[in-house]
Amino acid sequence: MSATISLKIALALKMNSLIDAQTAPKRVALHTLGCRLNFSETGSIASGFEQRGYEVVPFGERADVVFINTCTVTDGADSSCRNLIRKAHTSSPEGKIVVAGCYAQMDAPRIAKMQGVDLVLGTTEKYKVFDYLGEADSDQIHIDKTAHFYGAATSTAEGHTRAFLKIQDGCNYVCSFCIIPQARGRSRAISVEAALDEAKKVLDQGFKEIVLTGVNIGEYERSSGERLPDLVAKLVELDGLERLRLSSVEPNTLSDELLDVFASTNKFMPHFHIPMQSGNNEILKQMRRKYDVDFYRKTIEKIMTRFPDAGIGADIIVGFPGEGDEQFMDTYNLAKELALTHFHVFPFSKRKNTTAAKMEDHIQHGVKKERVRSLIALGEAKLSIFAEDQIGSVANVLYERRGKSGAWEGYTPNYVRVFTQSPLDLKNKIVKTQIVSSQNGKTVGELL
């Protein structure tokens, strides 16, 4: 081949790649840290990118825009956010990096100084990411301290077959360890009508399951002036909705009436998440929680009366200031005694500007670590027993994805993760499945 022909081919290839670069859709990679609410919000923002012609690519791939929705619930969450920003800059050195959400709201100047960060958007400003990306000379930091509500329904971009529907945001409580009210502001909520409209949109997209989310859903009524039982009763009437779940609910807000509405429909999935935080009354008081041990116990019992097969998750904080061995054992024993199945254990983390950070008697790191380890071990043992109890039963499993092992993975109504081999395409299908075994935390099903 002559040198001239080689040069022409090289030029043609370069032109093609330039044309491809100009015509190919822009790529956006999104990553979420933290709670279900954050996942719901990222889903909504991902939909916004898709509507504007972006292709959503996995985080870690080269992208034109990298959007990181952050969390600030612990020191660990903050440092995970900073690691993700570094990772984003490595994978997309030319891309615009947007850091948004709770950690962005609380620590914007530090984040803005990190290499590669183009935009820092607070908890409400994150919804305006499209405007800021379009402004050539936008400021780097946008933090709004007033509390607006932005409703959010997820898209398929996060890979879930569940749609997370945000009905409430912010919190008016003053739990002494919690930074969230400072990051997300006062409680506010979407109207019943708006929530139904959002729900219809995700059902039209083909979702069969909706998870109602918020920071403190139990505050729905006080924040919207409308009633959560009414919202639930109307939601389950919607065509296309087959399963409804509720994310975390404070024990003091889980009313009998709400439980009765859940019990009156077979669309509600018997799966709850009721933060416990501590099993010791003095620590609960210091935490400024709005219940005591007895109330928490009764809450779990009233769930079990209506839903004997319920899966029940609980957040537990260990190593709160002043938590001695005795107080910790109260927590351990309560967690062991009650019908809790999914533990979410966190070591107490000192958050600046919270009451608990200023308390005395902080617990040594090593002690916290050991307490976390023992509670996690208890939680794993309880979850195993719960899953083993289901062997032989038949459950309607909503399958999400085919995993690396080739098995389809999905959840039973009471939130046991099931692995099922099948040549069929089960994505987003609800299929009757027999639970055949459960060992080492892996529950296996067979299609009926």
> Which residues would be at the binding site for ligand SF4 (CB under 6 A)?
171, 173, 175, 178, 180-181, 215-216, 250
Q: Is 206 buried (19+), middle (13-18) or exposed (0-12) by CB count in 10 A?
A: exposed
> Which residue, 181 or 313, is less far from ligand SF4 as judged by CB?
181
**Alpha helices (H) along 190-314:** 192-204, 220-224, 228-235, 256-263, 281-287, 293-306
> Which residue, 63 or 316, is less far from ligand SF4 as judged by CB?
316
Cβ–Cβ under 8 Å, residues 198 and 232: no
Q: Classify each residue of 401-421 as buried b or exposed e, where b means 16 or more C-beta atoms within 10 Å of its C-beta.
A: ebeeeebbbbbbbbbbbbbbe
Q: What phi, psi does 379 have (nearest 5°)?
A: -60, -40
> Which residue, 215 or 244, is less far from ligand SF4 as judged by CB?
215
Helix (H, G, I), strand (E, B) or coil at 237: coil
Cα dihedral: 367, 371, 372, 376 (round 10): 160
Distances (CA, A) of 346 to 217, 330, 404: 21, 16, 29
Amino acid type, 19: I
> Which residue, 315 or 446, is less far from ligand SF4 as judged by CB?
315
> Which residue, 130 or 173, is less far from ligand SF4 as judged by CB?
173
Closest distance of CB 338 from ligand SF4, Å: 20
Closest distance of CB 260 from ligand SF4, Å: 24
- C-alpha count within 13 angstroms, C-beta hemisphere, residue 185: 19
Closest distance of CB 64 from ligand SF4, Å: 34
Closest distance of CB 171 from ligand SF4, Å: 3
Q: CA-to-CA distance for 399 and 428, rounded, in angstroms?
A: 5
> Which residue, 215 or 284, is less far from ligand SF4 as judged by CB?
215
Closest distance of CB 100 from ligand SF4, Å: 19
Closest distance of CB 256 from ligand SF4, Å: 21
Q: CA-to-CA distance for 381 and 378, rounded, in angstroms?
A: 5
Cβ–Cβ under 8 Å, residues 137 and 157: no
> Which residue, 189 or 430, is less far from ligand SF4 as judged by CB?
189
Closest distance of CB 426 from ligand SF4, Å: 36
Q: Is 352 buried (19+), middle (13-18) or exposed (0-12) by CB count in 10 A?
A: exposed
> Which residue, 359 or 394, is less far from ligand SF4 as judged by CB?
359
Q: CA-to-CA distance for 198 and 399, rounded, in angstroms?
A: 23
Closest distance of CB 103 from ligand SF4, Å: 15
Closest distance of CB 174 from ligand SF4, Å: 6
Q: CA-to-CA distance for 320 and 345, rounded, in angstroms?
A: 12
224-227 long-range Cβ contacts below 8 angstroms, 24+ apart = 224/168, 224/188, 224/189, 224/190, 224/191, 224/192, 226/191, 226/192
> Which residue, 174 or 436, is less far from ligand SF4 as judged by CB?
174
> Which residue, 161 or 216, is less far from ligand SF4 as judged by CB?
216
Closest distance of CB 254 from ligand SF4, Å: 13
Distances (CA, A) of 392 to 364, 395, 413: 45, 10, 15
